[in-house]
Chain A
Amino acid sequence: MKMIVAIKQVPERDAQLAIAPDGKWINEADLAYTINEPDAYALEEALQLKEKHGGEVIALCAGPERVTSTLREALAKGADRAIHIAADDLAQRDTLAQARLLANAIRAEAPDLILTGLQSDDLGLGQTGVVLAELLGIPHASLILQVEATDAGLRVKRELEDGWFQQVEMPLPALLTMQSGGNKLRYATLMGIKKAKSKPTATIPAEALAGEPAVAITRVYVPEKQKHTQMLRGTPAEIAAQLVEKLRNEVHVL
């Protein structure tokens, strides 16, 4: 099975974010970046499918030069090769324009299966995978925890709300957006890191942005607090004493 894993690079989870001077995005300089976590689960699923059924795993990522570090990590974990869509203007491209970039690169490869995370940890729109399937004209399923290859294509386990699940069957080629937790994520081994150095990464230029975006961010800001939070300070013993006082006299659970 030929598989493409569409990956996004996002700021690390505990990164201290500062708003850009124009108030429309964050300061991207000096941030530490990592693979978007749901995309790590998509990569893991692809690697496990390859181990079971053979085939090829291609890691795909659009973005500036810095995203090649995330692609190298995917290669070190076991992807066979990588494709970097060189684009410095992702923030100016809406979901549809970004998905078009990915779709063009994917069409050229004609994979059997495309995997990506269900949403990104930065924008959190949760749409790229579904839009990509629509652009490619292939079936999709979202919020997937398990994937099984069948004679007719795939059988997947989809998460529904409130602890419910369902199985979905579909033919290939298809696209899946992966939920976290279906597999255990692997770490790159020393051997993997070494091997990654000789694996190919193709860099392809992003097509120029055509047309106006359909949606725009006009302002980014720190949210107003929904509650007045009383911060408790002191030594651990002092804080514990204050908490016990609140538990007894305010919350009434002691």
Chain B
Amino acid sequence: MSGVLVVVEHRSGDGSLTRVSREALAAGQVLAKQLGSECFAAVLGENTAALAGALSGQRLAKVYAVDHPLLQQYTADAYTSGLEQIVARLAPEYVVFPHTYQVRDFAPALATRFGEVLISDVIAIRDGPVFVRQLFQGKLNADYTHTGGGPCFVSIQAGAFRADAVEAAESPAGIEALAVTLDPQQIRTRPSAPFRESAHTVDLAAAPVIVSVGRGIREQENLALVQALADALGAELAASRPICDAGWLPMERQVGSSGQTVSPKLYLAIGISGAIQHLVGMKGSKSVIAINKDENAPIFEVADYGVAADLFEIVPALTQAVLAAKT
């Protein structure tokens, strides 16, 4: 077949295509255009007819519907084996995934079966093709090229491509059902249904102003400084993962890929370096102010206003100034 095969994910609830999957489709279409070849999509599940039908409205050479009872609930063993069969049969040049937790769980093993290495968490694709990834928590970028002889496996970072950039088809793409052979004996793990820990009492997504704190705060006792600023601004207090990992703030106040995604009017980042996992949760904010002692911290790449100074000097001064401005 050659060309680009995009493997999409759907929501377990209503079976609709996830946003990151639409972004991966956009990336696949861009890559196919660069290569002068065609873009295909594959959807795996137990009954994918409706989703395959929806996908056929996009500019794709073909949509592959891969149905099997063992693909209904995700397991690494079923997905790796199922996709190994699909990739071997279709022989695409490139296989593109959204960089989700699920993909991270099986795509490295899938690539290994072809003697290949997944180029994961890609933020841009340039002519070549050259795949751009972030290194050192976003401090540096790297250009990666595929040098292996087999298919090239790539996963796309959330937000790197625009979901609304997916090109629609002039006439619907054909849908082809592909059968895979899976045996229950192959499945070595037994997953439970997903669950949530506690009722979410904090809805950071609805907060117009968020004051968020990271490692730079150093000690739990110092959180009072940031809380005082949040109170002065009438803001919700949030944090990057290390603060919640340490138990200093509850997990539900975490912003980032493993926490909440927010887009407030103002996001004030205090002592946050701006690791990729954090930035994906807040880069949609209308305005970002960052206070961090390291001028090279990646947080300044997404900030409108930056203060490269000691937060222990700046935050109390700012709290006072805000309170004075309000009276």
Contact = CB atoms under 8 A, between A and B. Distances in A.
Interface of A: 11, 13-14, 16-17, 19, 26, 94-96, 99, 118, 121-127, 130-131, 133-135, 139-143, 158-161, 163-171, 179-181, 184, 212-223, 225-227, 229-232, 236-237, 239-241, 243-244, 246-248, 250-254
Contacts of A26: 136, 140
Given A142-B104, A181-B244, A223 B140 contact: yes
A248 to B, nearest CB: 7
Contacts of B140: 17, 19, 26, 220-223
B318 A166 contact: no
B325 A244 contact: yes
Contacts of A212: 147-148
A157 to B, nearest CB: 10
A212 B115 CA distance: 11
B137 A229 contact: no
Interface of B: 76-77, 80, 100-101, 104-106, 108-109, 111-113, 115-121, 130, 133-148, 150, 188-197, 200, 208-209, 215, 233, 241-242, 244-247, 251-252, 257-260, 265-266, 273, 276, 283, 286-290, 294-296, 298, 300-309, 313-314, 316-318, 320-322, 325-326
B120 A125 contact: yes
17 contacts: A16-B296, A17-B139, A127-B117, A134-B109, A134-B112, A161-B101, A163-B260, A218-B145, A226-B283, A229-B306, A231-B295, A236-B314, A237-B321, A243-B305, A250-B304, A251-B289, A254-B322
Contacts of B303: 227, 229
A236 B326 contact: no
Contact of B120 (A99, A127, A171, A236): A127
A195 B136 CA distance: 33
Contacts of B295: 231
A214 B318 CA distance: 51
A219 B115 CA distance: 23
A121 B241 CA distance: 14
B101 A143 contact: yes
Given A11-B136, A96-B117, A244 B147 contact: no
A118 B130 CA distance: 25
B194 to A, nearest CB: 4
Most chain-A Cβ atoms within 10 A of its Cβ — which of B141, B150, B252, B283? B141
